[in-house]
Amino acid sequence: MLNPLTRKLLAFCDFTSAERRALARLGEYGVQRLPGNGLGNDPRKPGDVYLVVDGWAQRYKILPDGGRQILAYLLPGDMSERDTDVFGGFDHEMEAIGYATVCQISKQTLLETERDHPRIAIALAWAACVERATLQEWIANLGRRSPERRVAHLLCELWRRMAIIGNADGDVMSFPVSQVQLADTVGLTPVTVNRIIQRLRQQNTIILQNGKLQVLQAEQLCTMAGFDAAYLYADNSHAKSHDF
């Protein structure tokens, strides 16, 4: 069975057996993190990368007034930022959402893997491009979309990302994010987010309960959100058309 990192990177490259084994080794030694457990905050090891193998994690910043802005959700196959040694460590916090299995990969190990397998390096570069494009969508979400579209767009994105790595069972997926976390992601109050979720339920668009999200009417939800999955490279033909 392929690990989530391999499944994610297959969107950009068809790997050889040797390359798949190298990717599998990167995710071999996962450690389970309890809900709320931090990861990637060891100042002694700047430059290490944290790979989510199972479960979810989040990146966030705490503001001077105590408010929290969630910057990203790390799903299975996602890695933390790589260039933390530039700042001597992380300039944000990371923690598990629910139970998560996380591998700590040394910078040296990752560099050696990329040196020995250049196609893996290229696929990781493509994945980094998708992460930047996703951040840009989040900025647009906060700055220009209406409250209802903000929530709908985020749900569409997370559902699509889980589908890309094979972690969505049809229209149903694990969704450990609370409404408070959703609020801290889209810049709204939990009360407002709750009202939006209730409206989406009443419209028979989604079911969100017990840590599961079911998208009942994907086309309607995407239209409402103005969601276009192109920035996620869901159609990977452009990446795979390059001569690796």
- Among residues 15, 233, 237, 16, the alpha carbon closest in space to that of 131 is found at 233
Q: In this predicted model, what pLDDT tens digit does every residue of 70-108 receive, in sequence order?
A: 999 999 999 987 765 545 555 678 999 988 999 999 889
Q: How does strand 172-174 pair with strand 212-215?
A: antiparallel
Phi first, then psi: what are they for 53, rounded to 5°? -95, -35
% of the chain surpassing 70 pLDDT: 88
Q: How far apart are CA 57 and CA 78, in angstroms?
A: 9
Provide the pLDDT for residue 240. 53
For the chain, report the end-to-end CA distance as a whole number of angstroms: 24
Expressed in percent and rounded to 5, the helix, strand and coil fractions of the chain are 45, 20, 35
Is there a contact between 240 and 14 (Cβ–Cβ < 8 Å)? yes
Q: What is the pLDDT of the chain when averaged over all its residues?
A: 88
Edge-first strand listing for the sheet containing 212-215: 168-169, 172-174, 212-215, 206-209
Domains along the sequence of the chain with CATH? 4-117 (2.60.120.10), 131-240 (2.60.120.10)
pTM score, whole prediction: 0.89
